[in-house]
Every structure is written in C-alpha cells, then in structure tokens.
C-alpha cells in the first residue's frame, strides 16, 4: 500500500471564543519542568463525512474548547494535533481531543479542566534533568503485532515462567526489547546491559480533570546475556510494576510526588552512568483515542507520525482494538538492522497506511 501524505493547504490562528484568565501565570509542575520539549504529531483519520462545512465546524468548536484549555491555545493543528510534552501527557491529549469532539457534537457541552498539577507536583528550583536523547539522526517505524501474535507471545512466556495473566504491553515490550538488544550486540559484537523504562500513568491517583504531566518511571534491567529471553524480560517488568503498585497503594498525594521524583532520579542516574543502553517505553492504549467522535463517526485510525527520541517506543491501540501498534524510533543505522530481525518479523509486520 502507498503511504499516506497530509498536505497543509492553509494556516489559520484559532483564538479562544471566550476570555481566558487575565494576568494569570500557568505554573509548571516539576514533572512538566523535567519533561523534554518534544512534540509527537498525532493524527486521527476518518471516513469522509457528508457535510462539506467540516473546516468551519471544527474551527468554531476548537475556538470554544480552547477557552477551557487556554494554555493549549496556539499549539493545535486541526485535525492532527501537536502538543508539547512540557504542558501535557498522553492522558491529557486524549481528554482534550474527546472534549473537543464533544464540544463539536453538543452545543451546551462544557469541558471540566483544572490546570493545577503544580499543586500535586510542586515545582522545583533544581529539578533532575532527563538526559537529552534527541541528538542523533533518527527514524520512526510503525509495527503491528496482531492479537494472534500476542497470543503466541503470551503462550511462550507463560509456558516458560511463573508469570500469568499477561498483558499485551508486557509481551510486546519483551519482544521489542529483545530485538533492540540484538541490534546492540550486532553493532559491537559484545553484550551491553540494557534498561527498560516505562512511563507509569499516575492520573488515576488524582482528580481526572487535572491537566499536566502525571507519571513515574518504572525501571527494569537486563544485566547478563543469558537474560535476553522473553520470559525473563517480562518477569522483570512485572516485578517492577507490582513493586510500584504496592508502593502507590493508599499513598497520599504528597508522598506520590516524592515517590515519582525518586523513581525518575533512579532512572536518570542509571542513564547518566552510561553502563546501560536505555530504552524508553510509553503507552497510549486504553485512553479512548478511538472514541473521538466529532459527529461523523469514530476514527478509522489514530497514529503518531514520528518521535524525535532515540530508543523510544510508543504503544497504541490498533483499529481492531485487539492487536497493538508500536511506534519505534532508532538511529537510521540501528533501524536497518532492527527491521530485518527474524524474530521480530515472526510476530510483527511494518504498517504502511493507505491514503484511501
């Protein structure tokens, strides 16, 4: 299939339809402070609607919803969207798009937002610095792992370990990470320890209308060559995840902030030592991106165009809702090796979107 291309035919500044707070400063939380100033262009594709006045409808509803999302003003490109990670995360992205869609469908819809993440994660004078991995020339490729392949991966792991009730994120992480480590060994001829860092969503622990970054690091490591096995990678990830859940259970909001800071510092310190090859994972699955209905139906596909970060992996729901799409960003040289990995291609295939 031929790849899709999105052409910009015009540009227009959309201003909030109602006055936004005057002389008010938007305070960044410490998670906002440390988040890299990166953009991940997101696009939702729809079947062609019968209404020919779509652009005007979207402009009007965007103008209205921006009154509730005033820090977002000036950062949106309809109908694709590109928001800085400095002010929002994937959870906020989905909430904004669904609120915009609801505003388009329902004239009296009023979004509920609170830009108060700084009250839960107070800003710091000297926050930790996440190492800048946006340096080398990178390429992003989307791969799909079907529900059938996910089932096969789960069977392999459950048969060879004590880990049960596996999730698609766990087995997809293990597959991608194992293949990524193979690239490292192919380049150097030697084993190098590697670090899996997942961004763990903390929004469920706070009011769900809170806008701002809310995450902690979930770190697990592969330290010896004989650990480069799917069951071991999953077991380490599950152990780290369960540890975080036990720590967060019944924890007050101020302690959650401290815990998030400690988890991030731990990951940053490991990366700075340069003894491990770091891989950063995050997930946009189950966030409602396929529920974004502007009045002409739900999207037939939602995708990220690219990521600027080396060794960055983002999981997304695929249109069927059963498999998983995986956006992988590596250096150009590493991607040439990675995309030819036989084990990867046994379970995953590259996604090339049709313009239809």
What pTM, to 2 d.p., does this model score? 0.91
Which residue, of 74, 93, 120, is where some domain finishes? 120
The answer on 263 and 153 residing in a single domain is yes
Task: Give 323's DSSP letter.
Answer: S
Which position among 85, 177, 198, 232 bears the catalytic label? Answer: 85
The answer on 344 and 210 residing in a single domain is yes
- The answer to whether residue 20 is domain-embedded is no
The answer on 167 and 36 residing in a single domain is no
pLDDT digits (tens, 9 = 90+) for 242-299: 999 999 998 998 899 999 999 999 988 888 888 899 999 999 999 999 999 999 999 9
- The answer to whether residue 224 is domain-embedded is yes
Which residue, of 55, 85, 120, is where some domain finishes? 120
Catalytic status, residue 317 = no
Residue 315: enclosing H or E segment and its boundaries?
strand 312-317
The answer on 167 and 114 residing in a single domain is no
pLDDT band of 241, cuts 50, 70, 90: very high
Burial 98-130 (b: 16+ CB within 10 A, else e): bbbbbbbeeeeeebebebebbebbeeeeebbeb
CB neighbours (10 Å) of residue 315?
22
C-alpha closest to that of 116 among 19, 4, 56, 29: 29
C-alpha closest to that of 121 among 29, 216, 211, 201: 29
- The answer to whether residue 131 is domain-embedded is no
- The answer to whether residue 128 is domain-embedded is no
* Coil/strand/helix, residue 290: helix
User: pLDDT value at position 24?
Assistant: 61
Helices (H), strands (E): how many in the chain?
A: 10, 9
- Residue 291's domain comprises 138-350
- The answer to whether residue 126 is domain-embedded is no
The answer on 94 and 228 residing in a single domain is no
The answer on 188 and 73 residing in a single domain is no
The answer on 221 and 159 residing in a single domain is yes
pLDDT digits (tens, 9 = 90+) for 130-166: 776 555 689 999 999 999 999 999 999 999 999 999 9
* Coil/strand/helix, residue 66: coil
pLDDT digits (tens, 9 = 90+) for 62-97: 999 998 988 887 555 576 788 888 889 999 999 999
Which position among 108, 177, 293, 334 bears the catalytic label? Answer: 293
The answer on 145 and 87 residing in a single domain is no
Burial 156-177 (b: 16+ CB within 10 A, else e): bbbeebebeebbbbbbbbbbbb
Catalytic status, residue 177 = no
Number of domains in the chain: 2
* Coil/strand/helix, residue 189: coil
User: pLDDT value at position 3?
Assistant: 46
The answer on 283 and 208 residing in a single domain is yes
C-alpha closest to that of 109 among 94, 99, 119: 99
The answer on 101 and 68 residing in a single domain is yes
- The answer to whether residue 3 is domain-embedded is no
Domain with 143 in it: what CATH number? 3.30.559.10
The answer on 324 and 199 residing in a single domain is yes
CA separation for the pair 80, 8 (Å, rounded): 11
- The answer to whether residue 10 is domain-embedded is no
The answer on 291 and 205 residing in a single domain is yes
Helix, strand and coil content of the chain, in percent to the nearest 5, comes to: 40, 15, 45
């Amino acid at each position: 299939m031929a790849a899709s291309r999105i052409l910009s035919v015009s540009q227009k500044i959309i201003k909030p339809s109602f006055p936004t707070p005057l002389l008010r400063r938007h305070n960044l939380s410490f998670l906002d402070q440390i988040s890299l100033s990166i953009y991940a262009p997101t696009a939702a594709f729809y079947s062609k609607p019968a209404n020919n006045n779509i652009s005007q409808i979207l402009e009007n509803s965007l103008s209205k919803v921006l009154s509730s999302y005033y820090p977002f003003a000036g950062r949106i490109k309809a109908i694709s969207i590109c928001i800085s990670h400095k002010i929002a995360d994937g959870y906020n992205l989905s909430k904004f798009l669904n609120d915009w869609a609801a505003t388009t469908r329902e004239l009296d819809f009023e979004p509920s937002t609170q830009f108060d993440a700084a009250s839960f994660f107070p800003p710091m004078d000297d926050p930790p610095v996440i190492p800048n991995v946006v340096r080398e020339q990178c390429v992003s490729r989307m791969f799909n792992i079907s529900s059938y392949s996910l089932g096969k991966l789960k069977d392999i792991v459950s048969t060879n370990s004590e880990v049960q009730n596996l999730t698609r994120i766990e087995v997809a992480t293990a597959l991608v990470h194992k293949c990524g480590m193979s690239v490292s060994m192919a380049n150097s001829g030697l084993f190098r320890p590697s670090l899996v860092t997942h961004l763990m969503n903390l929004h469920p622990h706070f009011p769900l209308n809170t806008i701002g970054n809310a995450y902690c690091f979930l770190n697990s490591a592969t330290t010896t060559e004989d650990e480069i096995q799917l069951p071991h990678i999953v077991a380490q990830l599950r152990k780290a995840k369960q540890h975080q859940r036990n720590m967060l259970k019944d924890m007050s909001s101020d302690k959650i902030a401290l815990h998030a800071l400690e988890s991030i510092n731990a990951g940053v310190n490991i990366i700075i030592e340069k003894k491990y090859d770091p891989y950063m994972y995050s997930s946009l699955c189950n966030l409602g991106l396929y529920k974004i209905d502007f009045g002409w139906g739900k999207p037939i596909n939602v995708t990220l165009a690219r990521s600027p970060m080396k060794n960055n992996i983002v999981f997304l729901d695929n249109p069927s809702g059963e498999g998983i799409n995986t956006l992988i960003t590596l250096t150009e040289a590493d991607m040439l090796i990675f995309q030819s990995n036989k084990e990867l291609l046994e379970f995953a295939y590259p996604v090339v979107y049709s313009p239809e």
